[in-house]
Amino acid sequence: MSLSGEDLLQIEGDYELERGELVEMVRPGFEHGRIVINVGATLRSHVKPNQLGQVVTETGFYLERDPDTVRGPDVAFFSRSRVPADPSKFAESPPDLAVEVVSPHDRSDALEERVRRFLEAGVNECWVLYPRTHTMHRFRLDWSEVLSRGQRVHSVPCLPGFECLLAEFFDE
List the domain boundaries for the chain. Answer: 28-170
Can you give the pLDDT at residue 104? 86
Left if phi > 0, otherwise alpha if psi is -120 to 50, otherwise beta: which for 93?
beta
Give the helix ranges, DSSP H, for 2-139.
Answer: 5-9, 30-47, 108-120
Can you give the pLDDT at residue 49? 98
pLDDT tier for residue 38 given thresholds of 50, 70 and 90: very high
Q: What is the pLDDT of residues 106-135, one digit of tens each?
A: 888 999 999 999 999 999 999 999 999 999
Q: What is the pLDDT of residues 44-100, one digit of tens each?
A: 999 999 999 999 999 999 999 999 999 999 999 999 999 999 999 999 999 999 999
pLDDT tier for residue 101 given thresholds of 50, 70 and 90: very high
Say if CB 79 and CB 52 are below 8 A apart. yes
Residue type, 110: A
Question: 77 in helix, strand or coil?
Answer: strand
CATH architecture of the domain 28-170 equals Alpha-Beta Complex (3.90)
Residues 6+ apart with CB under 8 A from 4: 20, 67, 68
pLDDT tier for residue 105 given thresholds of 50, 70 and 90: confident
pTM of the model as a whole: 0.95
Can you give the pLDDT at residue 52? 98
